[in-house]
């Protein structure tokens, strides 16, 4: 394992630091970075890049989660026959703050159609992957 860590350190010095997918994270590895890596440490530059990338992805995911929650709330209101005015007001506010991922009438219609198709596939309240359904039922037992 120590040999592998040293190879990684040398690679860091020669090629910089890459993500697991192979995309460059830090392209300019220095001798100092290599020495830190050889001793089992990570440079501040790499650590700060990881923190920034995490902050970016967390913010992105929070926006997408909020959008999804609003779509779920609207779908639930439609399904239960509740008043949709409050949810639509929240959607309008979201759209004003986030026009690049706005919830449009087209996206609402698509979502309702997808939800209806998904619900139509449910058997006993659960939707199984069609390729695995027979195997799962056999393994668990079907009523």
pTM exceeds 0.75, yes or no? no
What pLDDT score does 3 carry?
54
What pLDDT score does 88 carry?
98
Return the percentage of the chain with pLDDT > 90, whole number. Answer: 61
Mean pLDDT of 76-99: 97
What pLDDT score does 56 carry?
97
What pLDDT score does 14 carry?
44
What pLDDT score does 76 carry?
97
In DSSP notation, the chain reads -HHHHHHHHHHHHHH-EE-TTS-EEE----HHHHHHHHTT---HHHHHHHHHHHHHHHHHHHHHHHHHHHHHHHHHHHHHT---HHHHHHHHHHHHH-GGG---HHHHHHHHHHHHHHHHT-BTTB---TTTHHHHHHHH---
Categorize the per-residue pLDDT at 36 as very low, low, confident or very high, splitting at 50, 70 and 90: low
Task: State yes or no: pLDDT of 89 exceeds 60.
Answer: yes
What pLDDT score does 35 carry?
67
Mean pLDDT of 95-123: 96
């Amino acid at each position: 394992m120590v040999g592998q860590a040293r190879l990684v350190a040398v690679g860091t010095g020669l090629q910089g630091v890459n993500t697991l997918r192979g995309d460059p994270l830090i392209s300019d590895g220095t001798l100092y970075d290599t020495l830190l890596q050889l001793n089992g440490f990570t440079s501040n530059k790499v650590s700060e890049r990881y923190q920034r990338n995490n902050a970016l992805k967390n913010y992105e995911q929070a926006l997408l989660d909020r959008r999804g929650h609003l779509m779920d709330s609207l779908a639930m209101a439609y399904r239960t026959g509740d008043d949709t005015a409050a949810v639509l007001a929240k959607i309008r506010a979201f759209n004003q703050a986030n026009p690049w991922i706005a919830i449009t009438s087209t996206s609402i219609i698509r979502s309702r159609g997808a939800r209806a198709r998904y619900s139509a596939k449910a058997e006993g309240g659960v939707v199984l992957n069609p390729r695995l359904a027979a195997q799962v039922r056999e393994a668990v037992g079907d009523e």
